[in-house]
Structure 1
Amino acid sequence: MLALALLALVLVGPGQARADGPRAVQPGDRLSGQWRADMDSMRDYLTSVLEPIGGHCLSIHGSMIYGFRTTGDPRLHAMEHSVAGTTVTIKRQRARGTRSDTVVFLYSGSYSAPLTVRAGERILETSRNPDFSNFFVEGFSVNGVFVGEMDFDLTGLSQAFGGNVMRYEFVGDNTLRLTPIFPPSPDGVPIHPRPFILHRLSHDPDRR
């Protein structure tokens, strides 16, 4: 369950503009810059990913930043994702019986990956094999029992679950809604993620 939860955090023709809702537009330079994840939406997103295995994200607190950098080609960007001192609390129902486990972990880390923009479909797609080895679980407990610190290499998990593909929608100029698209889990259970929200911090990818 911890593996799936961490994986879920990593994560990825122009439509008609609507005055009362999101506008589906080509991103251009609007995507470039630093963006902060809305943690309430991230909690709901995590819950939607964990539901097929009986999991539920109770809370998530900390810093989670996404950076997008242009490369000169409007179809190609670079995405950087960093997490600092983020605490996630998850409850999972056991396979048998009515008991559940509460898992809490504190983690930090970062990664970067090439990003392809398919504007006609409003799709962002990162490399299928980004390096997640820089993520580190600083504290981990199960049902209140502290387990300790651990290195956690997510590279194998990213390969097992496929590439990171997200559908994007701009809500105004400073809010971005991303809906990850996952293939079915290895046991065939479909995954239907809810979107999560990013709020712009800066137009400069090097400054928050």
Structure 2
Amino acid sequence: MAAFAAPAFCEDGHKLKQMTAACGLQNVLVAPSFFKIELPRKSIVISSKAPDWKIVTANTRSKLFCETPLSQFKANYIASATQMQLTDLALMQEIPAQKRASKFGAYQCIDFAVRQVDDSFNSFEGARSTTYRVLDDAKMPAAAGKVLKRLCGFTSIMSNKIPLSMEVISQQGMRSRFLITTEVIPAHDVKADVLSSKYKLVAKEIDVFRDPQMQEDIRDMLDANEHK
């Protein structure tokens, strides 16, 4: 997804491969002064850099992008299966008194127990086990954690550390995984990206997430089936 060109400033960080209930596959590149999140199944690239942490959301298929202050980033993709905003997916909050150190490979992590904060959806009252895992690296920007939480639907979570997993096991043994991280590896010489001049700026974030070309292709397919 070569939507961006890269200038010269370099630093070290991490690369993550993740699967989420909300967005599917997401590839994350994060360093102290920059992060980029690729959602390949949705043709979306989200990036931001210090010092202002303005969010740039680009659609690599439609070549549209928008710029949003971090505080106003909404992740306005509506899941077609549920017709729900991402912010509604997992109304869970960590319990600070119930945390412990853990590891993901060689990486230091923190595991929190979580509790349901709203019973309107996916109530896990009396769950056998709940775990929300974050990467315990103070060098990584809170802005990246905030955006990843938004994409995963974890807006009730208080910690802004990089999320790695969210799992709830019910009393009946049913396992619900809202986020899985399959890989974390070192990233060296990370460069803050610059968006290609081929992209067109639009005012509304939703217009970037809702790919007009994909919608047109779907309409064409439906029309073709009707006339068979």
Query: Do the structures match in fold with TM over 0.5?
Result: no
**TM-score, structure 2 as length reference:** 0.31
Query: Relative CO higher for 1 or 2, CA cutoff 8 Å, sep ≥ 6?
Result: 2
**Structure of larger gyration radius:** 2
